[in-house]
C-alpha cells in the first residue's frame, strides 16, 4: 500500500483557500482507502527532523521548498500541493478508469465514453 506524506510550512504562511482545497481532497481520498499523513512544521517539527530526506530538502532550500509531498520514501512534489488527479494517480497508480462509464451526464450524451455534446 502507498502512503502519502505531506510536509507543510507554518499555517500562518499558507493560503486558506488552498488549505481548504487540500483538506477536502485529503478527507475524500482517506474515506476511499488512501493513507495520507500530514505534518505541519509548527505542530510536528520532530517529523521534519526525523525524516532525513525532508531534512535535506529543508537544509538545501529552506522553508520555500514546502510543501513536500512524498509517496512512501520518494519525494514526488515540492513547493506546491498536488491537484485532484495527481492525488489519485499517486495514491492509486494501478487503477483503471476505462471501465467506468458514469463520469458524465448520460442525458446529454456524455456517458459511456461518448463525446460530450453539452
Least confident span in 11-20, 60-69, 106-115:
106-115
Share of the chain above pLDDT 90, in %: 62
The sheet with strand 74-78 has its strands ordered as 35-40, 3-8, 68-71, 74-78
Q: How far is Cα 15 from Cα 66, in angstroms, rounded to an integer?
A: 13
Q: For residue range 68-85, list pLDDT tens digits in order.
A: 999 999 999 999 999 999
Residue 55 confidence class, pLDDT cut points 50, 70, 90: very high
- pLDDT for res 104: 39
- pLDDT for res 10: 85
Amino acid at each position: 500500500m502507498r502512503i502519502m506524506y505531506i510536509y507543510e510550512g507554518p499555517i500562518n504562511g499558507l493560503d486558506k483557500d488552498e488549505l481548504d482545497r487540500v483538506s477536502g481532497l485529503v478527507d475524500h481520498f482517506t474515506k476511499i482507502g488512501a493513507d495520507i499523513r500530514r505534518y505541519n512544521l509548527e505542530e510536528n517539527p520532530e517529523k521534519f527532523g526525523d525524516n532525513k530526506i525532508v531534512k535535506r530538502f529543508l537544509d538545501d532550500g529552506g522553508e520555500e521548498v514546502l510543501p513536500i509531498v512524498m509517496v512512501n520514501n520518494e519525494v514526488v512534489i515540492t513547493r506546491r500541493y498536488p491537484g485532484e488527479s495527481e492525488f489519485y494517480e499517486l495514491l492509486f497508480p494501478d487503477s483503471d478508469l476505462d471501465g467506468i462509464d458514469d463520469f458524465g451526464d448520460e442525458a446529454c450524451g456524455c456517458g459511456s465514453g461518448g463525446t460530450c455534446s453539452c
